[in-house]
């Protein structure tokens, strides 16, 4: 529209470096590039205004430029304070055709190492699309979310606007929730219908991860989800690939870049043996660690045992483990009382979406404990001698936030091409075929899941066998798929 784009990133001068990385990533993201080729002319996202909240990495840059190649406009924030890759963020702002002096890409509000306050300011800015010719405020009409913070901000805003007031901060509220309440209090004072108006304009949200889907389901159960949602996480080509093979790559990448400790021969413990835990355990075993697993679900515990991991309780082994990784999506998994009993220089990291798996707040309250920054996102916590135990230290990665994105660069492009092809398809579905998706939380139809997988086979030299018509009839499927019933678990 001719106006200069607004943005907030670390340093636009990083854009040329980011552009090189994006260019190489495009080759590794055949799904996204195939979608650009398929839909580039039709422009199915023309008119879409997407508020995006997802780790601002190189791979996300390729996603953003795919959405805009299909006609969308976006405003983007990261969904974590440590996960932004500053060069990628700069390159998206500058765009393919812009220059550092005259950026012509998409607005991004993200940098590595935001404060929580800055994080929520960035989240707010993805909803601010200026005003139309008559001076009426414009909002997004789509959300693309990872972890549900963007959606949560809208729904909390609506809740408090309906109530006419933002509740006071309670003692049990986290520091972060207090910031959200403060932001919404300011918003309510200046524009009492802002979030209600924004919510009414949104056609749908596509959600990237397990934890965000969990939040959407809760919102829907409570009757407050005002628009349809697509659960991208539970596309098979997302959770059975990104969560598993992605973490198999990026978990040890994060541990290595943070500590460079030899993993072989060490005892590692993975809390949670879901999709992410399975990738983490394999990753650590691949390096020669002896891997222990904790689980609450007997099915996943049995899987871990049959995969050859010892299934243990944290309390029983806490003093024997060298590397702890939480992957549960749950809270209060590794507590300060555990950390007090760990081996000297044990490494403690989380790869689940939120930082409440490890009790960092409790750690800070241990009498006499001292925090030493080794480098950004790597901290030594020194415990004084206590309860007959000598003084010891532990190494905490990314302050308990997801370490693969905080200490390394997250999942590599090829696996994210699967996830983000689902994201792109979900945005097209919700934007162009909204009537097919009533309010609720939906997964993409299986033929689209199979399509995403198909788009990635050639790049790996995989040759798919085709069913004959009579074989297809014999097993009761169509020659062109879908090949499995919905209940099949892969």
Residue 147 assigned ligand-binding role: no
* 297 lies in the site for ligand NAI, by CB under 6 A: yes
Site track 332-351 with ligand NAI (rule: CB under 6 A), x = hit = -x-----------------x
Distance, CA of 148 to chain centre:
9
Q: Report, in Å, the least distance between residue 242 CB and ligand NAI.
A: 6
Residue 295 assigned ligand-binding role: yes
Q: Report, in Å, the least distance between residue 285 CB and ligand NAI.
A: 17
The SS3 assignment for 214 reads helix
The residue to which tokens 């018509």 are assigned: 469
The Cα 3–Cα 220 span in angstroms is 38
Binding residue count for ligand NAI, defined by CB under 6 A: 32
One of 294, 393, 422, 423 touching ligand NAI (CB under 6 A): 294
Cβ-in-10-Å burial (0-12, 13-18, 19+) of 330 comes to middle
* 277 lies in the site for ligand NAI, by CB under 6 A: yes
> Which residues is 382 bridged to in the sheet?
370, 393
Residue 394 assigned ligand-binding role: no
Nearer to ligand NAI, 211 or 256 (CB): 211
Contact 319, 341 (CB under 8 A): yes
Contact 386, 341 (CB under 8 A): no
- Widest pairwise Cα distance in the chain: 73
H or E segment to which residue 439 belongs: none
Cis peptide before 446 (omega within 30 of 0): no
Site track 211-250 with ligand NAI (rule: CB under 6 A), x = hit = x---------------------------x--xx--xx---
Q: Which residues have CB under 8 Å from 187's CB, separation 6+?
A: 124, 157, 194, 195
Residue 139 assigned ligand-binding role: no
Residue 159 assigned ligand-binding role: no
* 353 lies in the site for ligand NAI, by CB under 6 A: yes
Nearer to ligand NAI, 8 or 211 (CB): 211
The SS3 assignment for 363 reads helix
Nearer to ligand NAI, 157 or 352 (CB): 352
Residues 308-327 that bind ligand NAI (CB under 6 A): 327
Q: Report, in Å, the least distance between residue 294 CB and ligand NAI.
A: 4
Query: Can you give the binding site for ligand NAI, defined by CB under 6 A?
Result: 209-211, 239, 242-243, 246-247, 271-277, 294-297, 300, 327-330, 333, 351-353, 402, 404, 410-411
């Amino acid at each position: 529209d001719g106006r200069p784009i607004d943005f907030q990133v670390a340093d636009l001068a990083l854009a040329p470096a980011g552009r090189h990385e994006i260019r190489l990533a495009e080759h590794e993201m055949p799904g996204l590039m195939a979608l650009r080729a398929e839909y580039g002319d039709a422009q199915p996202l023309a008119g879409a205004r997407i508020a995006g909240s997802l780790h601002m990495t190189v791979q996300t840059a390729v996603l953003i430029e795919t959405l805009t190649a299909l006609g969308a406009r976006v405003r983007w924030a990261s969904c974590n304070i440590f996960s932004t890759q500053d060069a990628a963020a700069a390159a998206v702002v500058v765009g393919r055709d812009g220059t550092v002096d005259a950026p012509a890409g998409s607005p991004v509000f993200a940098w590595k190492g935001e404060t929580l306050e800055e994080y929520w300011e960035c989240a707010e800015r993805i909803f601010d699309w200026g005003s139309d010719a008559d001076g009426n405020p414009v909002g997004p009409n789509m959300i693309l979310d990872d972890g549900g913070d963007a959606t949560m901000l809208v729904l909390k805003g609506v809740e408090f606007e309906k109530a006419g007031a933002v509740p006071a901060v309670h003692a049990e509220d986290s520091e972060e929730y207090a910031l959200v309440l403060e932001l919404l209090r300011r918003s309510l004072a200046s524009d009492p219908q802002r979030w209600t108006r924004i919510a009414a304009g949104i056609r749908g949200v596509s959600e990237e991860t397990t934890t965000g889907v969990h939040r959407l389901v809760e919102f829907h159960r409570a009757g407050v989800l005002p628009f349809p949602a697509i659960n991208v996480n539970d596309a098979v080509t997302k959770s059975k690939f990104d969560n598993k093979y992605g973490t198999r790559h990026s978990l040890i990448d994060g541990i290595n870049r943070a500590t460079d400790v030899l993993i072989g021969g060490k005892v590692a413990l993975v809390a949670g043996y879901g999709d992410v835990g399975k990738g983490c355990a394999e990753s650590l075993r691949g390096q020669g660690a002896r891997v222990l697993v904790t689980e609450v679900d007997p099915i996943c515990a049995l899987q871990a045992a049959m995969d050859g991991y010892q299934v243990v309780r944290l309390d029983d082994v806490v003093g024997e483990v060298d590397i702890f990784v939480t992957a549960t999506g749950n809270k209060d998994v590794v507590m300060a009382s555990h950390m007090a009993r760990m081996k000297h220089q044990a490494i403690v990291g989380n790869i689940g979406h939120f930082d409440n798996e490890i009790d960092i707040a409790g750690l800070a309250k241990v009498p006499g404990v001292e925090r030493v920054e080794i480098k950004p996102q790597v901290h030594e916590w020194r415990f004084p001698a206590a309860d007959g135990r000598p003084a010891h230290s532990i190494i905490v990665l990314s302050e308990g936030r997801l370490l693969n994105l905080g200490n390394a660069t997250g999942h590599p492009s090829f696996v994210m091409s699967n996830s983000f092809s689902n994201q792109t398809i979900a945005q097209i579905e919700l934007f162009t075929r909204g009537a097919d998706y009533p309010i609720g939380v939906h997964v993409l139809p299986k033929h689209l899941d199979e399509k995403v997988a198909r788009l990635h086979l050639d790049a790996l030299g995989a040759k798919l066998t085709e069913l004959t018509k009579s074989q297809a009839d014999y097993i009761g499927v169509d020659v062109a798929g879908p090949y499995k019933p919905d209940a099949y678990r892969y």
